[in-house]
A and B are shown apart, each in its own frame.
Chain A
């Protein structure tokens, strides 16, 4: 009997398992590609917390990935996925929505997409109220944090000018990595970037890559399960090319929005008004001055987070569109904030866009239209969705002029 028989058998078993896993990954990849169009408009955990389906979406020329928060998941008959259901102008949005999803999380997700971003367009939908917070809250962060994305970020080849500040921000949420000492050490190594940090990073890199590989395999597994759990999904989608008449769509959307927001002076959706806003507004005695409002905007970390996120997209050769509704004018005027102060938000976004050379569209030209949103939480009305969709279409067709935005 050979003294190496155990070693030989163990290596053979490892080889067989590796071959099986590789075959599984190929199968999962083909299934993800086959069904990625069918999942474009769905919102489920694995789609946003994993990376396999998102990467598959970036490989499709007729999908426009759109990242955002709750505004993307609230149902509306004029939502972009309905407007572009049949790919009338050549694409449909691939929605990645997480309640409270903010740019610091999206920066990590973009690092996960990595080279898949090269030559691709991606839309980032913002909610203005998040830019009034000094910092992203822990609950917002934890609700959208993905260890897979975090590992992909720390192991990415992004320049240190991006990695270092992002790692610094991630370290502000120690509960997100919990007992994962390797992730914590890697983040510290990146954030400190000294000789010791570089040695630590080099030592941990191989084992962290292995951990990343495990997460990616788990992600493929869960993505396949997510698809198989939805037998209604079809692998083929219908494309019907048709020119868009945006004015006509807006003309249909406005009466719909009006009819659903006619029981209060704020033009808040009737159901939302009855369930939430009537009580909130009745009990709200605090007024906000222009100074306080602009101070909050100026102190918010979200603008720098957004800068890091668009820099990440650009570093991989992607083209981002920053898309946002304005603040809900009727509500904020009632809170005591002047319209001029509300404009600071759009001004700051556009300044950031110019500095970074990326397209920024804020729908503030419609700010006097009180039916643009269903509530002050930046959730778009039927009419708002038409304008949002038009901006997406212009971006996809390459009609947006970055300089003029």
Chain B
């Protein structure tokens, strides 16, 4: 008798099947794996990653310091 996959099951890249009733971490891993293998999603994610780094660097070091020590003329 042939085994027919149930409609709620999906093939994972390693050949295992994920069932609809699988735990939440497992589903997250599954989703991540699917997205990571999608070239456009991967490009967007990487771009956002580098963008976040650049924005963080600007936020950390972007503020200038133009202050000067005070001066009162005392040469009289």
Contacts and interface: CB of A to CB of B under 8 A. Distances in A.
A49 interface: yes
Contact of A14 (B39, B54, B63, B66): B54
B43 interface: yes
A5 B68 contact: no
A129 B66 CA distance: 27
A217 B64 CA distance: 9
A1 B62 CA distance: 34
Interface string A254-276: 00000000000000000000000
Interface stretch (A144-152, A306-314, A316-324, A381-389): A144-152
B63 A221 contact: yes
A133 to B, nearest CB: 7
B39 A49 contact: no
Interface string B42-76: 11001111110111001000111011111111011
A13 B53 CA distance: 9
B75 to A, nearest CB: 6
Interface string A113-147: 00000000000000001001100010110111110
Interface residues of B, number: 27
Given A1-B42, A5-B43, A17-B51, A221 B62 contact: yes
A12 B62 CA distance: 20
Interface in A32-69: 45-46, 49-50
Contact of B68 (A16, A49, A215, A376): A49
A5 B42 contact: yes
A13 B39 contact: no
B51 A13 contact: yes
B47 A218 contact: no
A139 B74 CA distance: 11
A12 B48 CA distance: 9
B71 A17 contact: no
Given A5-B42, A222-B64, 17 more contacts: A8-B43, A9-B46, A10-B46, A12-B50, A13-B48, A13-B50, A13-B53, A99-B73, A139-B69, A139-B71, A142-B68, A143-B71, A145-B68, A146-B66, A221-B64, A222-B66, A377-B73
Interface of B: 37, 39, 42-43, 46-51, 53-55, 58, 62-64, 66-73, 75-76
12 contacts: A1-B42, A6-B46, A8-B43, A13-B47, A13-B53, A13-B54, A16-B51, A45-B66, A143-B70, A218-B64, A219-B64, A219-B66
